[in-house]
C-alpha cells in the first residue's frame, strides 16, 4: 500500500509537470483566438483587442493563466472548444471511449497472439516455426503503421470490398454486432501488428532464458510433464520482463493511434488531437495530451502491480526484490 501510494503521488507530480509544460508551450505559440480574429477582421480597433485579451485572460503571464486553468480544471471546467463549439470535456469523453475500445482490443489481440508465438518459437529453437515467427516479427518491426493500414485498406476494402474503409458504423442504421465488429478489424489489426512483433520476440528470449534455469531442469528431472513445467515454472517467470514491454507497447499503440485513427476516420482522441492542433483548438489539444499521459502512467502502475502477482519475491513495499 505504501509503494502504491508513493507511485500514485509520483505519477500525479509527473502529470502536473506535463500539464504545465504543455500549457506553457501552447500558450507561447502564435495564433491565439485574438490573433485569429485580427487576421479575419483587419478593421478591429486596438482598444477592442486589449479588451478582448483582458476578458480571456490572455494579457496575464503564463504562470497566472496556467494556475487559473488548473483550478478550473479541478472543478471540471477545461475551457471551451472553438473548433467543435462545445466544452472541451464534452469533446474528449466520447473520443476517449472510442480510443480505449480500439486500443484495448488491439492490445488484447497482441497479447493473445504474441505470447503463444514467443513460447512456441522458444520451445522449438532454430526450427521452421522459429524462423517463420522471427520473419513475421521483423516484418512487423519494419513496416510503418500508416503503410500497413493503407495496404490493408487497399486489399480488403478497395479490391475485395470485404471490410469498411473507415468509421465506427455508428448511426448507419445497422446495430448488429457483426456490422460494428467489421469496422474494428482493419484499425485494430494495424495497431496490433507492431505489438505482436515486439511481444513475441521478447517472450521468446525470456522463455529461452528461463528454460536454462536450474529449477526448470530439476522439475523435468523429477518427472514433471512438459506442459506442467511450462505452465507452473516457465510461463510466470518468463512473463515478468514481458510485462514491461506490454506496458511500453501500450504507449506506443496510443501514439500510433493518432495516424491510424486519422487514416481510418476513427473518431478517437488521435483524430481529435490532430484536428484540434490543425484548428488551433488548444483547449481540446491540451486535454487530449493529459488523457494520453494519464493512460501511460496508469499502464506503468498496473505493470508494477503485475510484477508482484507473477513473482511473490518482488516486494512492492520496498520497490525491489526481497
315 phi/psi in degrees, rounded to 5: -100, 110
Burial of 28 (0-12, 13-18, 19+ CB in 10 A): exposed
Question: Which residues does the chain have with pLDDT short of 50?
Answer: 319-322
- Report pLDDT for 1: 66
Q: Kindly list the distances between the CA atom of residue 6 and the CA atoms of 10, 294, 298, in Å, as whole numbers in the listed order.
A: 6, 16, 14
Q: Nine-digit cell at 228?
A: 506442467
- Report pLDDT for 255: 66
Interatomic CA distance for residues 322 and 314, integer angstroms = 6
- Report pLDDT for 112: 92
Which positions ≥6 away from 276 have C-beta within 8 Å?
81, 83, 282, 284, 285, 288
- 198, 113 Cβ separation under 8 angstroms: no
Q: Identify the CA nearest to 188 among candidates 117, 108, 262, 267.
A: 108
- Kindly report the pTM of this predicted structure: 0.77
Domains of the chain: 14-88 (no CATH), 92-321 (1.10.3720.10)
**CA atoms within 13 A of residue 34's CA, in its CB half-sphere:** 18
Amino acid at each position: 500500500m505504501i509503494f502504491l501510494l508513493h507511485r500514485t503521488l509520483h505519477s500525479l507530480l509527473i502529470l502536473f509537470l506535463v500539464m504545465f509544460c504543455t500549457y506553457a508551450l501552447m500558450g507561447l505559440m502564435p495564433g491565439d483566438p485574438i490573433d485569429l480574429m485580427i487576421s479575419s477582421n483587419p478593421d478591429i480597433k486596438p482598444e477592442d483587442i486589449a479588451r478582448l485579451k483582458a476578458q480571456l485572460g490572455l494579457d496575464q503571464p503564463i504562470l497566472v493563466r496556467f494556475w487559473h486553468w488548473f483550478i478550473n480544471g479541478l472543478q471540471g471546467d477545461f475551457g471551451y472548444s472553438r473548433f467543435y463549439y462545445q466544452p472541451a470535456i464534452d469533446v474528449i469523453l466520447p473520443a476517449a471511449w472510442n480510443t480505449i475500445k480500439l486500443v484495448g482490443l488491439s492490445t488484447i489481440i497482441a497479447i493473445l497472439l504474441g505470447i503463444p508465438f514467443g513460447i512456441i518459437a522458444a520451445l522449438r529453437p532454430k526450427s521452421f516455426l522459429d524462423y517463420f515467427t522471427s520473419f513475421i516479427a521483423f516484418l512487423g518491426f519494419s513496416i510503418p503503421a500508416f503503410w500497413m493500414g493503407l495496404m490493408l485498406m487497399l486489399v480488403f476494402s478497395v479490391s475485395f470490398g470485404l471490410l469498411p474503409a473507415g468509421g465506427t458504423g455508428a448511426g448507419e442504421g445497422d446495430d448488429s454486432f457483426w456490422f460494428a465488429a467489421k469496422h474494428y478489424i482493419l484499425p485494430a489489426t494495424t495497431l496490433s501488428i507492431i505489438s505482436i512483433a515486439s511481444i513475441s520476440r521478447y517472450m521468446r528470449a525470456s522463455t529461452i532464458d528461463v528454460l536454462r534455469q536450474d529449477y526448470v531442469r530439476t522439475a523435468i528431472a523429477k518427472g514433471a510433464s512438459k506442459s506442467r513445467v511450462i505452465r507452473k515454472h516457465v510461463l510466470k517467470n518468463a512473463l515478468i520482463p514481458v510485462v514491461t514491454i506490454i506496458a511500453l507497447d501500450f504507449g506506443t499503440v496510443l501514439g500510433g493511434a493518432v495516424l491510424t485513427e486519422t487514416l481510418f476516420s476513427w473518431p478517437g482522441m488521435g483524430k481529435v488531437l490532430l484536428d484540434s492542433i490543425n484548428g488551433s483548438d488548444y483547449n481540446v489539444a491540451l486535454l487530449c495530451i493529459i488523457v494520453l499521459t494519464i493512460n501511460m502512467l496508469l499502464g506503468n502502475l498496473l505493470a508494477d502491480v503485475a510484477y508482484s502477482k507473477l513473482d511473490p519475491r518482488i516486494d512492492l513495499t520496498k520497490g525491489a526484490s526481497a
